[in-house]
Amino acid sequence: MKILILHGPNLNLLGTRETDIYGCKTLDEINEDLRQRAEGLDVHIEEILQTNSESDLVDRIQAARGRIDGIVINPAAYTHTSIALRDALLATGIPFAEVHLSNVHGREPFRQQSYLSDIAVGIVSGFGSESYLLALEGLVKRLNQEGTIRKRSDP
């Protein structure tokens, strides 16, 4: 099973940016935790990308079509603004989990709107860096269940 990890804008500043909201772990530390958890789940993280560019995220989602089984994405601020990300995820049909470090539903009203939540396999928010690990575990479990269901229904 191949997983793509996508981190949106400003997440490269984790560990120093608003630590009272986002925690003290750096993005490199989160990525290392994800690699270790993936190994324990016997899945392969094909790629990890952090970018501040919406178009780079869209390009990576499109390039994943047909070669990636699932995506863990923290769209960050693009959660609340990007129809382009939504369209890319819908167009590729790749199952994905939406991740947020903070509890976006307990924050400003504009952060409570997501253009992705209704099409995600699941959403994990509010558990700091652990949100990523929970999202990875949940996505892998769902993909394994769907694979088993598909195999049982194949003639």
Catalytic residue numbers, as ranges: 22, 100
Owning domain of residue 30: 2-153
pLDDT at 49: 98
Stretch 12-31: mean pLDDT: 85
User: Residue 109 — very low, low, confident or very high, per pLDDT cuts 50/70/90?
Assistant: low
The predicted structure's pLDDT at residue 155: 45
**pLDDT tens string 128-140:** 999 999 999 999 9
Asked whether 86 and 116 are in contact (CB, 8 A), the reply is yes
pLDDT of residue 118 exceeding 60? yes
- Tens digits of residue pLDDT in 76-87: 998 988 999 999
**Could you tell me the CA-to-CA distances from 41 to 37, 38, 100, 102, 121 in Å, in that order?**
6, 5, 21, 25, 18
* Residue 148, pLDDT score: 55
Q: State the pLDDT confidence band at 152, using cuts at 50, 70 and 90.
A: very low
pLDDT digits (tens, 9 = 90+) for 26-75: 999 999 999 999 999 999 999 999 999 999 999 999 999 999 999 999 99
C-alpha separations of 25 from 31, 42, 91, 94, 138 in Å: 10, 24, 33, 28, 22
As a whole-number percent, the residues of the chain with pLDDT over 90 amount to 74
Answer yes or no: is pLDDT of 107 > 70. no
- C-alpha span between 104 and 81 (Å, rounded): 14
Query: Which CATH number does the domain housing residue 81 bear?
Result: 3.40.50.9100
Based on the structure, what is the number of domains in the chain? 1
